[in-house]
């Protein structure tokens, strides 16, 4: 009888963990895969709380893993949704400059889009109105390959396909202890169950650094959670926005600013702002976990972010606490928006990897150690790029598995 319960143990049933399980079962049929998820279902956190946008890749520097993965992943995601009857639409989007200071950055995005081979069209004010009659701006670009879908449904489909191929997904399985010795990893969950595997893949998202430390590895970064707060346009005002409208992003931050998104459900979602969360799953100001907050406050990188970007952070905090201030930010793009048009919607929390010097990690970050693969930063466009990223993690995991067997 085998002393292993499985070959590869994946921690986390978000879209990357489930894509990894799916990719392993496709690349190496017969590989025994178990996915452990602490919640009672998949995609309960970042995957199920994002804006549902299939990103084109226009923002990302040429040659970066984010750019390569988004360019490939967006096309693959549309194809996957089509093949599996998952609601989606290729809508295109506008990136709009509302101030002259933003024009050089907008022109830089035009050049980057062309370098990536994306269908990019430059627009003046009159042409903006052809796409979005209520949106105002000095100039804009239209990116034709951006779309929307239901990423929660995508994640569930990944899980179903992996299960059909022999993988097992265990919900309500919070990992509390990780032990290892050469060629073997043992994981105990909160109910006392022990899972033994040859290789472990850490796709724990908001808790990935904690899982890495639990395994005895030093991740060299820390997850600092940022809450993104959203509003929804009142249904009777939803006609103000036809599709997707974004501001020109600030290159100093990995956040894209307050944008307008007509989702696959037909509702217009507005946001997010980005404020520090008081817990890793702190979806409102009332959710405080003292231990997690103390860990964030004790981390040198947190204070270095605060010192470097306090003006930006103060503005985000002001918009979080003041509906009027948030409305003012929206009105830069959508002058017809009124404070009473904005209905509170559910928030998300971004698992932002931060280095000790305060650097916000802007690309995917992986770490390997004997028997283990850690996914330590999976920023936007992780959902868009989940198929190629899942294959990349699977490739690494199968390499670890091969090393464990030899």
Give tens-digit pLDDT for 205-222.
999 999 999 999 999 999
Beta-carbon contacts of residue 101 (< 8 Å; ≥ 6 apart): none
The interaxial angle of helices 300-308 and 310-321, nearest 10 deg, is 90
- Please indicate, yes or no, whether residues 42 and 161 belong to a single structural domain of this protein: yes
How far is the C-alpha of 388 from the C-alpha of 382, rounded, in Å? 10
Averaged pLDDT score across all residues of the chain: 94
Q: Which letter does DSSP use for residue 360 in this model?
A: B
The angle that helices 151-164 and 65-83 make with each other, rounded to 10 degrees, is 80
Q: Do residue 366 and residue 329 come from a single domain?
A: no
CB atoms within 10 A of CB 182: 8
CATH code of 37's domain:
3.50.50.60
pLDDT digits (tens, 9 = 90+) for 59-112: 988 888 999 999 999 999 999 999 999 999 999 999 999 999 999 999 999 999
User: What's the confidence (pLDDT) of residue 1?
Assistant: 36
> Is 400 a domain residue?
yes
Tell me what percent of the residues of the chain surpass a pLDDT of 90. Answer: 87
For residue 267, is it within any domain? yes
Tell whether 186 and 209 lie within a shared domain: yes
**Where in the sequence is the domain holding 161, given as residue range(s)?**
6-47+152-221+362-405
What is the distance between the alpha carbons of residues 317 and 179, in angstroms, rounded to a whole number?
41
Per the document, the length of the chain is 406
Say whether both 212 and 349 belong to one domain: no
What is the count of structural domains for the chain?
Answer: 2
Q: Would you place residue 259 in the very low, low, confident or very high pLDDT band (cuts 50, 70, 90)?
A: very high
Q: What is the pTM of this model?
A: 0.95
Residue 255's pLDDT is 66
In a domain, 116, yes or no: no
Q: Does residue 122 fall inside a structural domain?
A: no
CA 214/CA 187 separation, integer angstroms: 10
Instruction: Report if residue 56 sits inside a domain.
Output: no
d(CA 247, CA 260): 9
Structural domain contains residue 208: yes
Residues 167 and 214 in one domain: yes
Tell me: do 351 and 300 sit in the same domain. yes
> CA dist 230 to 181, 210, 329, Å?
45, 28, 13
Q: Look at residue 188 and tell me if it is in a domain.
A: yes
Report pLDDT digits (tens) over 306-324: 998 888 788 889 889 899 9
Structural domain contains residue 88: no
Q: How far apart are CA 142 and CA 58, in angstroms?
A: 11
Q: Are residues 284 and 315 in the same domain?
A: yes
């Amino acid at each position: 009888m085998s002393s292993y319960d499985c070959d590869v143990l994946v921690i986390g049933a978000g879209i990357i963990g489930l894509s990894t399980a799916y990719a392993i079962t496709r690349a190496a049929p017969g590989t025994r895969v178990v996915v452990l998820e602490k919640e009672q279902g998949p995609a309960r956190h970042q995957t199920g709380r994002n804006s549902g946008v299939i990103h084109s890749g226009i923002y990302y520097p040429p040659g970066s893993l984010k750019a390569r993965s988004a360019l490939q992943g967006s096309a693959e995601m549309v194809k996957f949704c089509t093949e599996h009857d998952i609601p989606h639409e290729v809508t295109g989007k506008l990136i709009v400059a509302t101030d002259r200071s933003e024009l050089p950055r907008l022109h830089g995005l035009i050049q980057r889009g062309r370098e990536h081979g994306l269908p990019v069209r430059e627009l003046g004010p009159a042409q903006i109105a052809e796409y979005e009659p209520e949106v105002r701006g000095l100039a804009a670009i239209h990116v034709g390959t951006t779309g929307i879908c239901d990423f929660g449904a995508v994640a569930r489909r990944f899980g179903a396909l992996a299960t059909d191929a022999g993988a097992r997904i265990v919900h309500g399985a919070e990992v509390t202890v990780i032990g290892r010795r050469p060629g073997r990893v043992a994981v105990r969950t909160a109910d006392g169950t022990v899972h033994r595997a040859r290789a472990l893949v850490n796709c724990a998202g908001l808790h990935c650094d904690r899982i890495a430390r639990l395994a005895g590895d030093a991740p060299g970064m820390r997850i600092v959670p940022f809450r993104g707060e959203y509003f929804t346009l009142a249904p009777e005002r939803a006609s103000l926005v036809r599709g997707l409208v974004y501001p020109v992003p600030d290159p100093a931050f990995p956040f894209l600013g307050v944008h307008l998104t007509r989702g696959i459900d037909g509702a217009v979602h507005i946001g997010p702002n980005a404020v520090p969360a008081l817990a890793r799953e702190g979806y409102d100001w009332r959710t405080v976990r003292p231990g997690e907050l103390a860990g964030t406050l004790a981390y040198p990188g947190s204070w270095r972010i605060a010192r470097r970007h306090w003006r930006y952070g103060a503005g985000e905090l002001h918009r979080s606490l003041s509906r009027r201030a948030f409305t003012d930010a929206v009105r830069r793009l959508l002058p017809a928006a009124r404070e009473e048009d904005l209905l509170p919607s559910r928030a998300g929390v971004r698992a932002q990897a931060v280095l000790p010097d305060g650097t916000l990690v802007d690309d995917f970050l992986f770490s390997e150690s004997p028997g283990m693969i850690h996914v330590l930063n999976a920023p936007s466009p992780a959902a868009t790029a989940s198929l190629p990223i899942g294959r990349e993690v699977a490739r690494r995991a199968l390499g670890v598995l091969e090393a464990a067997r030899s």
